[in-house]
Amino acid sequence: MRKKSPAREIRVQIDSRYEFIDLIQRMAEDLCRVAGLARSAALNLGLAVREAVANAIKHGNRLDHSKRVIVIFKVASDRIVVAVRDQGKGFDPQRVKNPVAPENVYQNHGRGIFFMNAFVDDVTFTRLRSGGTEVRMEKRSRERRPGGASPARASMRQGGKAQ
């Protein structure tokens, strides 16, 4: 039986500045290669991570440069998990409106979480004890591994849990 290699972890901490978003997005896309994910999957995760970091800077830390955004990448042989933490006051993801509902389609904002849900397999929001929010995104390899289980189906799940 094939033994899975342990996940490798990388932690990055940035100031709340938009100019760092590109860097984090590139890291996400490059690490997808390490995890054996396809190019299209890397682009999808890259956009989801971009949106999560942008939200953390803008809505979580409210552009306060003294507040940090922490990004944790966990890279395994068949998946990558990215957690994005801010130091804001938290929010209720259930209150985010559906941007493709007819009454919301003309809104200027509110598509970031929609993109996260669309482009990764799982998204969860957790309110941290410290007061901020953690967005956890998981992207799995679609390729069937010899002797392994069939790949999990993509889901559009979005849930929040309080600590």
DSSP 119-131: HSSEEEEEE-TTS
Determine which residue in the list 5, 9, 10, 18 makes contact with other proteins, applying CB under 8 A.
Answer: 18
Q: How many residues does the chain have?
A: 163
Residue 112: Cβ within 10 Å count: 21
Residue 34: Cβ within 10 Å count: 14
- Give the nearest distance from C-beta 81 to other proteins in angstroms: 21
- Give the nearest distance from C-beta 77 to other proteins in angstroms: 28
- Give the nearest distance from C-beta 113 to other proteins in angstroms: 9
Q: Is 21 in the site for other proteins (CB under 8 A)?
A: yes
Rounded CA separation 115/94 (Å)? 15
Q: Is 19 in the site for other proteins (CB under 8 A)?
A: yes
- Give the nearest distance from C-beta 155 to other proteins in angstroms: 16
Q: In what order do the strands lie in the sheet with 158-162?
A: 8-15, 68-75, 79-85, 133-140, 122-127, 158-162
Tokens of 66: 């003294």
Query: Using CB under 8 A, which residues numbered 82 to 141 contact other proteins?
Result: 99-100, 105-112, 114-115, 118
Q: Is 43 in the site for other proteins (CB under 8 A)?
A: yes
Query: Using CB under 8 A, which residues numbered 45 to 74 contact other proteins?
Result: 47, 50-51, 54, 58
Query: Element (H or E) spanning 83, and its range?
Result: strand 79-85
Q: Is 155 in the site for other proteins (CB under 8 A)?
A: no
Q: Which residues of the chain form contacts with other proteins (CB under 8 A)? A: 18-19, 21, 43, 47, 50-51, 54, 58, 99-100, 105-112, 114-115, 118
